[in-house]
Amino acid sequence: MKREGVKRKFRVFGMIIVLAILNVLPGCGGPGISPSGTAEPQKTTRAIINKGSDTMVNLALAWAEAYAAQRPEVRISVTGGGSGTGIAALINGTVDIANASRAMKSEEVERARANGIEPVEHIVAGDAIAVVVNPTNPVSALTIDQFSDIFTGKITNWREVGGEDRPIVLLSRESNSGTHIYFLENVIRKGEKDNQRLFSPDTLLMPSSEGISVEVRQNPNAIGYDGLGYVTPDQKTIRVARRAGEPYIPPSIETVTEGSYPIARSLYMYTSGQPTCIIRQYLDWITGAEGQEIVEELGFVPLQ
């Protein structure tokens, strides 16, 4: 399947794409500006430095390579590390584009402004957070309330939600992950601002999406969550209802697009101020037809 082939190709985290630099892009005359704000020589083009969300890193790598095939004079560096890492780099002025699988927090925006950075948000794709279990697990559908009780440790055995008499093993991304924060705020805390529930202390924190996938595949008691683009056929996705009595909806491009899947989100790129020149051209390409075709190939949700 085309999507699976592309996903395998970009599975390595922390990989850096380095593409040859020849000259300043057409229509982008004048000196380049480094992340620190210093002028670069007239005929030297720096890399676009792109860092952040691990959920988005495979997508960002795919975009960078496809764009370079058309614009070989561009150099794009892509690394992961988590949404928090990318946002911190934007605040510190060390990246051109920060990838994030969550929106920036108000306190992050304030820190950026205090440092002379005005963050500008660009929505580049959509995503579903899929809750995944081992294929042998008979549980197929749960409500947001049940997820909240499971991941906070109130429900500890699968038989309490219609499964077998087995202990529940909780898996989560690490706290620097935008996916972790989104799941905490919108599933565990159910979007309630005064809700202070936390992940159970027994939760196993995994450093990557692949770590969750591996553990779910080999552990029949495990439950985790991941971006839709990382779900593989050897995992079982749970259908989700907003509350008891409402329809249980599977995670898919179609259900996110129509707005019926309850755990859906946008994926973001942040720049310091309105982008210009090569960064503007790159973002326009990402949000255009070619960039959005790659979004769908990797299992994420293209812009409408």
Domains of the chain as residue ranges with CATH: 2-126+268-297 (3.40.190.10), 128-264 (3.40.190.10)
Strand partners, 239: 141
Residue range 188-194: mean pLDDT, rounded: 94
Does residue 43 carry a pLDDT above 80?
no
Distance CA 43, CA 24 (A): 6
Secondary structure (3-state) at 59: helix
Distance CA 255, CA 128 (A): 9
Does residue 233 carry a pLDDT above 80?
yes
Secondary structure (3-state) at 263: coil
- At 45 the pLDDT is 59
Query: Are 279 and 272 spatial neighbours (Cβ–Cβ below 8 Å)?
Result: no
Q: What is the mean pLDDT of the chain?
A: 88
Distance CA 275, CA 188 (A): 36
**Tens-place pLDDT, residues 243-296:** 999 999 999 999 999 999 999 999 999 999 999 999 999 999 999 999 999 999
Query: Are 171 and 47 spatial neighbours (Cβ–Cβ below 8 Å)?
Result: no
Please, what sign has the CA dihedral across residues 192, 198, 199, 200?
A: negative
Element (H, E) at 85: helix 83-91
- At 161 the pLDDT is 98
